Amino acid sequence: MRIAAALSTLLVLCLGVLSCRKDGAADVTLLNVSYDPTRELYGEINAEFSAHWEKTTGQSVRIRQSHGGAGKQARAVIDGLEADVVTLAIAFDIDAMHERAGLLPKDWQTRLPHDSAPYTSTIVFLVRKGNPKGIRDWKDLVREGVSVITPNPKTSGGARYNYLAAWGYALREFGEEGAAQNFLARLYGNVPVLDSGARGATTTFAERGIGDVLLTWENEALLSLKELGDKADLELVVPSVSILAEPPVALVDTYADKHGTRKVAQAYLEFLYTPQAQRIAGKHFYRPSGASAAAEFADQFAEVTRFTVREIAGSWREAHEKHFADGGVFDRIYQPGAKAARAR
Amino acid sequence: MSHSVSRLGGHGRRAGRQDTAEEAPLIRWLLIGVALLFVCAFLLVPLVIVFSSAFADGLDAYLDALADDETLSAVRLTLLAAGIAVPLNLVFGVTSAWLLSKYEFPGKSALVTLIDLPFSVSPVIAGLIFVLLFGAQGWFGSLLSAWDVRIIFAVPGIVLATTFITFPLVTREVLAVMQAQGSDEEEAALTLGATGWQILWRVTLPKVKWGVIYGVILCNARAMGEFGAVSVVSGHIRGETNTLPLHVEVLYGEYAFVGAFAVSSLLALLAIVTLVLKQWVEWRAERRTADLATGAAPPTVARTVPAG
């Protein structure tokens, strides 16, 4: 029975490796469930907050991170991923936590300043070096022969902002919804592939070299310019108008109370509004809401008129029902393969 | 095939024989060329890319990437998941293969089909099954939360998903060997008065030993490499519920290419070790049968050398 002996040795070895794992020496741990592009941001903020909290209270705190597509992450929290705080891309996903599982109160968004958005962003374009297709504004995206990369608004929070930004532009330009819908139909007719999330779309565009223009978060665009540098041969284009993206944060009452972490979780969210954290947000290409950090990083961000979701769609719920729910505007204007049919 | 055989058989027909002699090398080299091209394009080039990207910034960067806390925790979690799933499936696989090959009972073919279920459903669905069962909104959700037991988005969920996905591997391997060998020896042992346990330990298990080892190797490789099902139940908590394959995706998404490929190289190494072990097991098994056939057994029984 040498096999049994070998297997039990292996098992003992595994258990040995496991038992020597570095034990969480922290007094308290938090779980922050976030979306994709915030990995670098929270990596840095968490370290600062831990230091700050230990200095002021003597209690050591460890913040665990989970990242993924915003809609998927919200779904996981509803299904039992016990986040003490969530920091997601759109308020709609946090609303869903209230509606489907009652994890936090309906008025969660009023509990922190600036509608619970400590930093903001917007939607911009990334194009190939030298801008060979001459893309300057939204109207250039619907031209014949321009290939547009944007993720699927059904699964990606960033993609919903992309969609609503184009919608807002079209409403301002044409003044009525029929024409705006037409504009979006032409725009999505130019989209060869819908990735499920923002990072996936960035990879499709920057690494795989598909498409002429990528619609993306401003922070994601600036980050990929920095990370990929000259290798990627990309250029930033800021359109005439765009949307005010407000990624919200919230305490998840049910789980925080269950873990007994409400106090430190609340302090963590409030910390996001301090000048210290605001500077980190600016450094990672999010537009700070605090005045001093906003001034410090003003050069980094282009002047752009930003309209809010409220102005163009009422609320996230209304936007969802009208545009993204099954049978909504997006389903009507986007048919995979429609482009090929039309080209004939 | 049968056509060329009949040609070779017909000694009198000269023209036919000449044809095969001329055709054969060309076709042979063509086939070898195509096979080599495919092996290079689809197997070797990706392997080379994994290792060259992993060492792109030198050995130090490679080792640093592997010594990262989150990477080490992914290694631990992967070892734990495989360390639980493989023994479980080993016990289940051997018993179920024994049951299926030695006994006749109603519903047997349905059971054989059911065992293959994890192979036939998409891994994503496999993961979602566990979310629907154990999620906060799932069947057992309120019960589990009342007892404060966490299954999905924690280690137990990952172990469950891994076990589910690798469920059929040992059974399949062992069952095939058991069926090929028949139950003659077991019946002989029974007539000589051996008990059930004695037959299992002294007759059946030694006979299928190499099949079992082969099954375990495959099971382990799949357990460590599984992505889809584990991704659904993981919750992606960094340094806690990310297995090696999930960690590769995380690193790649963070533009940490050296880290991503360094971790990938671990998985690639696992694949290579698996292949070498598999080859060795096959070679041992074959040699053993050959020994038995030529040595111990009388020459007339030597025909029972299984092919391949």
- Number of domains, chain B: 2
Q: Which residues of A touch B (CB under 8 A)?
A: 3, 7, 10-11, 14-15, 17-18, 21-22, 31, 36, 39-40, 64-68, 76, 78-82, 100-101, 199, 203, 224, 227-228
Q: Which domain does A339 fall in, by range?
A: 123-243+314-343
- Decide if A1 is inside a domain: no
Asked whether residue A38 falls in the same domain as residue A67, the answer is: yes
Check whether A54 has a pLDDT greater than 60.
yes
Asked whether residue A133 falls in the same domain as residue A213, the answer is: yes
Asked whether residue B143 falls in the same domain as residue B19, the answer is: no
Asked whether residue A138 falls in the same domain as residue A234, the answer is: yes
Say how many C-beta atoms besides its own lie within 10 A of residue A162's C-beta: 28
A200 in helix, strand or coil?
helix
Which site among A81, A203, A257 would you substitute to test the B interface, given the most B Cβ atoms closer than 10 Å to its Cβ? A81
- Decide if A88 is inside a domain: yes
Asked whether residue B185 falls in the same domain as residue B211, the answer is: yes
CB contact under 8 A, B238 and A31: no
Asked whether residue B22 falls in the same domain as residue B37, the answer is: yes
Asked whether residue A235 falls in the same domain as residue A147, the answer is: yes
Asked whether residue A193 falls in the same domain as residue A338, the answer is: yes
Residue B224 with chain A: CB contacts under 8 Å: none
Asked whether residue B128 falls in the same domain as residue B207, the answer is: yes
**Confidence grade of residue A233 (pLDDT, cut at 50, 70, 90):** confident
Q: State chain A's maximal CA–CA distance in angstroms.
A: 81
Asked whether residue B10 falls in the same domain as residue B145, the answer is: no
A237 in helix, strand or coil?
strand
Asked whether residue B64 falls in the same domain as residue B41, the answer is: no
- Decide if A18 is inside a domain: no
Asked whether residue B124 falls in the same domain as residue B249, the answer is: yes
Task: State the CATH number of the domain containing residue A221.
Answer: 3.40.190.10
Asked whether residue B171 falls in the same domain as residue B139, the answer is: yes
Asked whether residue A82 falls in the same domain as residue A152, the answer is: no
Asked whether residue A99 falls in the same domain as residue A201, the answer is: no
**Confidence grade of residue A13 (pLDDT, cut at 50, 70, 90):** low
Asked whether residue B44 falls in the same domain as residue B100, the answer is: no
Task: State the CATH number of the domain containing residue B87.
Answer: 1.10.3720.10
Asked whether residue A190 falls in the same domain as residue A319, the answer is: yes
CB contact under 8 A, A101 and B137: yes
- Decide if A71 is inside a domain: yes
Check whether A11 has a pLDDT greater than 60.
no
- Number of domains, chain A: 2
Give yes or no for B170 touching A (CB within 8 A): no
Asked whether residue A236 falls in the same domain as residue A190, the answer is: yes
Asked whether residue B48 falls in the same domain as residue B63, the answer is: no
Q: Which domain does B30 fall in, by range?
A: 2-52
- Decide if A66 is inside a domain: yes
Which site among B212, B255, B258, B281 would you substitute to test the A interface, given the most A Cβ atoms closer than 10 Å to its Cβ? B255
Q: What is the pLDDT along chain B (308 residues), one digit of tens a residue?
A: 344 444 444 444 444 444 555 568 888 899 999 999 999 988 889 889 899 989 988 899 899 889 988 899 999 999 999 999 999 999 999 999 988 888 888 988 898 888 888 888 888 898 999 999 998 888 888 888 888 888 889 999 999 999 999 999 999 999 999 888 888 888 899 899 888 888 888 888 888 888 898 899 899 999 999 999 999 999 889 888 999 999 998 888 777 888 999 999 999 998 888 888 888 888 887 887 777 766 554 444 334 444 43
Asked whether residue B172 falls in the same domain as residue B275, the answer is: yes
CB contact under 8 A, B80 and A18: yes
Amino acid at site A29: T
Asked whether residue B107 falls in the same domain as residue B197, the answer is: yes
A213-235: average pLDDT: 85
Give the tokens for residue B196.
């059930």
